[in-house]
Structure 1
Amino acid sequence: MSKKIAVLFGGNSPEREISLKSGKTILNSLIKLGINAIGIDPISFPLLYLKKYGFKKIFISLHGKGGEDGTIQGILDYLNIPYTGSNLLASAITINKFLTKTIWHEYGLPVIYPHFLLNKKDFVKSNFLKIEKKILKFKLPIFIKPNCSGSSLGSTKIDHLDDLFNAIEKSFIYNDDILIEKYIKGEEYTVGILNEKILPPIRIEYPNSFYNYQAKYYLNTTQYFCPSGLNKYKERELKNIILHAWNAVKCQNWGRIDVILDENKKFQLLEINTIPGMTSHSLYPMAAKKIGLSFHDLVIKILNLT
């Protein structure tokens, strides 16, 4: 009998719905390939039993808190079971957008400035006018997003000062720290990494003012371009930035980095995703397909990197 593989999906983060879709697609692919794979939702299965039930390898398809923040990686390290994706340290760093940007900046990589971190307790205690004054130094429009959350949940572009308070409150629903930064207009790209190989970049066009949750998962007006349309020099520059950004935070195996090409034609790093979506419509498999990897090939390759 082949090695017993567990695919972890679901969990209790706000990104549960997307995780379930990704995980089930991965699981079905493994089963079709004749692999002894079982789907497990941590909500209904005690993870410390993974060893007891004889699982030899874990394919992590949990998104956000509990999946990409080092928590599950720590449990699996303790159990001494190999798993897909980045390790505990890289996961814990990259779930934190502010910390990731700080490291990238120290490495001389391009990130959006100015930006600052606002904590929920500080916000409650502080005079709102003081915070407003600090934010206004950026000049509108600005962008607000939860510091340790994904799928653009709780993210808002602010064009009018009247919307500021409600946007901050909304963002705090998802995280106790929020990142506030200057809004950058430009073209958005996402770039996958597979075992140190940079996949073809994908350019994203969306109908809204930013690539929000609806545009990512539900609107059929969002368009994806791969090839991206970048000329060969610009694409080479982008791939070089991506590789340095990936290595700076010590990520491993597979993941995705989002960037924006601003109006001055300069790339700005946005954030990193250590467990990308893996449905049949997700961007990571789309990029892999461009280098000749079918979904089945991709799933096997990721599994075998552990």
Structure 2
Amino acid sequence: MSDSSGLYVVVLAGGISHERDVSLRSGRRVADALVAAGHRVVLRDPDAGLLPFLVEERPDVVFPALHGSSGEDGSLLGLLDAIGIPTVGSSAAAARRAWSKPVASSLLGASGASVPESIVLSHESFRELGAAGVLRVVRDALPGDLVVKPAMGGSAQGVGIVTDPNDLPRAMVDAFTYSDVVVIERRIVGTEIAVGVIDTGDGPVALTPVEIEPTTGIYSFQARYNAGETTFYAPSRLDTAAIETVAAAAIHAHLTLGLRDLSRVDFIVDGAGVPWFLEANVLPGLTETSLVPLAIDASGTDAATTYSGLVQAALARAGRNSKV
């Protein structure tokens, strides 16, 4: 339990996913910010000792900073809810909706949002129906440049841009390395924008939209987490009308998927100013090169204030009184 100096917060970071290193960096940044805000913080890996530790310690709030399936597919969030630990972030059900890119895109498309045309293939169907025949149908149905990506996962791992049809088989193999289901979608040409959404109890608010300009033209894993490989603009260089439109689209996605507290929604804004939904992240990167911290700074606040507000919101949602 907390002492008089603030709340007792356990920050979860690490895990065994492909994004472990990114998660550790996010967790350290979150922990440092919460300490700066006056909270008592313990940084923990989600290992076999975690649940007994939480049951024994009963921290005021848990703040997951986990990326990949260990934190974003809803499994751990459901267990935390089952043992009654107030937790920053979305519910397990909402996390499952966002974790599956085909599910999230289907829900957003049904709600009226612009979503790229796509085909979703399981590894099993790809093998059973024959790769050559499947790829022929895909090329005929989706002419032009394509994006091939794992149906689940983050940090652009396994994502490929296909401009030559002969490169499609290789892109499929790379994506299947990270997921048993792959999304092949029509590539939207435009400006890549990420919008952080924060809700500390008064409803979701879009942070300053961040424009992404990687030096190679592709926002890859390396471009995301290696300093100097991407130029970020916060606010975006888009005109005011387009910025307002993409910010509203992010809040719409956040609400449509039933997310809470914190999310990041990614778009391509085309030449007509239309934001095309790509994906929503329930536990976005919070490292020194990540987009949400950049947007927090550009929005006129700081990480300590924002993360502390999220901790307070999680505690209030659990029906307990704030202590700071």
Given the two structures, how large is their TM-score scaled by the length of structure 1?
Answer: 0.95
Q: What corresponds to 2:321 in structure 1?
A: none
Q: What corresponds to 1:132 in structure 2?
A: 135
1:54 equivalent in alignment to 2:54: no
1:186-205 equivalence runs, <5 A: 186-195=190-199, 196-205=204-213
Whether the aligned pair in 1 keeps the contact of 2:37 and 2:305 (CA below 8 Å) is no
Q: What corresponds to 2:92 in structure 1?
A: 88
Q: What corresponds to 1:45 in structure 2?
A: 49
Per-residue deviation, 1:125 = 1.5
1:292-303 equivalence runs, <5 A: 292-303=300-311
Q: What corresponds to 1:275 in structure 2?
A: 283
For residues 76 and 30 of structure 2, the distance between their equivalents in structure 1, rounded to whole angstroms, comes to 18
1:290 equivalent in alignment to 2:298: yes
1:112 equivalent in alignment to 2:120: no
Whether the aligned pair in 1 keeps the contact of 2:114 and 2:275 (CA below 8 Å) is yes
Whether the aligned pair in 2 keeps the contact of 1:48 and 1:75 (CA below 8 Å) is no
In terms of mean alpha carbon deviation, does 99-108 or 41-50 score higher?
41-50
Per-residue deviation, 1:32 = 3.4
> What amino acid does structure 2 have at the position aligned with 1:144?
V
Kindly tell me the number of residue pairs found equivalent between the two proteins: 305
For residues 290 and 220 of structure 1, the distance between their equivalents in structure 2, rounded to whole angstroms, comes to 19
> What amino acid does structure 2 have at the position aligned with 1:211?
Y
For residues 32 and 263 of structure 2, the distance between their equivalents in structure 1, rounded to whole angstroms, comes to 21
Give 2:68's match in structure 1, choosing from 46, 64, 71. Answer: 64
1:227-246 equivalence runs, <5 A: 227-246=235-254
Whether the aligned pair in 2 keeps the contact of 1:157 and 1:209 (CA below 8 Å) is no
Give 1:77's match in structure 2, choosing from 74, 81, 93. Answer: 81
User: What percent identity do the matched residue pairs reach?
Assistant: 28
1:206 equivalent in alignment to 2:210: no
1:149-228 equivalence runs, <5 A: 149-195=153-199, 196-218=204-226, 220-228=228-236
For residues 161 and 234 of structure 1, the distance between their equivalents in structure 2, rounded to whole angstroms, comes to 33
Against the structure 1 CA distance between its residues 263 and 291, is the aligned structure 2 distance closer, same or farther, given a 3 Å change threshold? Answer: closer
Q: What corresponds to 2:124 in structure 1?
A: 121
For residues 277 and 46 of structure 1, the distance between their equivalents in structure 2, rounded to whole angstroms, comes to 22
For residues 296 and 169 of structure 2, the distance between their equivalents in structure 1, rounded to whole angstroms, comes to 41
Segments of 4+ moved more than 4 angstroms: none
For residues 215 and 289 of structure 2, the distance between their equivalents in structure 1, rounded to whole angstroms, comes to 18
Whether the aligned pair in 2 keeps the contact of 1:9 and 1:23 (CA below 8 Å) is yes
Against the structure 1 CA distance between its residues 33 and 44, is the aligned structure 2 distance closer, same or farther, given a 3 Å change threshold? Answer: farther
Per-residue deviation, 1:48 = 4.1
Given the two structures, how large is their TM-score scaled by the length of structure 2?
Answer: 0.90
Per-residue deviation, 1:33 = 3.3
Deviations 1:12-52 (A, max 9, x none): 11111100000011112223333221010013633243121
Aligned to 1:169, the other structure's residue is in SS state helix
The unaligned stretches of length 5 or more in structure 2 are 315-324
For residues 46 and 219 of structure 1, the distance between their equivalents in structure 2, rounded to whole angstroms, comes to 32
> What amino acid does structure 2 have at the position aligned with 1:279?
T
The unaligned stretches of length 5 or more in structure 1 are none
In terms of mean alpha carbon deviation, does 57-66 or 223-232 score higher?
223-232
Q: What corresponds to 1:17 in structure 2?
A: 21
1:28 equivalent in alignment to 2:32: yes
> What amino acid does structure 2 have at the position aligned with 1:121?
E
For residues 288 and 309 of structure 2, the distance between their equivalents in structure 1, rounded to whole angstroms, comes to 16
Per-residue deviation, 1:108 = 0.7
For residues 57 and 122 of structure 1, the distance between their equivalents in structure 2, rounded to whole angstroms, comes to 43
> What amino acid does structure 2 have at the position aligned with 1:222?
T
Aligned to 1:51, the other structure's residue is in SS state helix
1:253 equivalent in alignment to 2:261: yes
Against the structure 1 CA distance between its residues 75 and 177, is the aligned structure 2 distance closer, same or farther, given a 3 Å change threshold? Answer: same
Against the structure 1 CA distance between its residues 77 and 292, is the aligned structure 2 distance closer, same or farther, given a 3 Å change threshold? Answer: same
> What amino acid does structure 2 have at the position aligned with 1:93?
R
Aligned to 1:58, the other structure's residue is in SS state strand
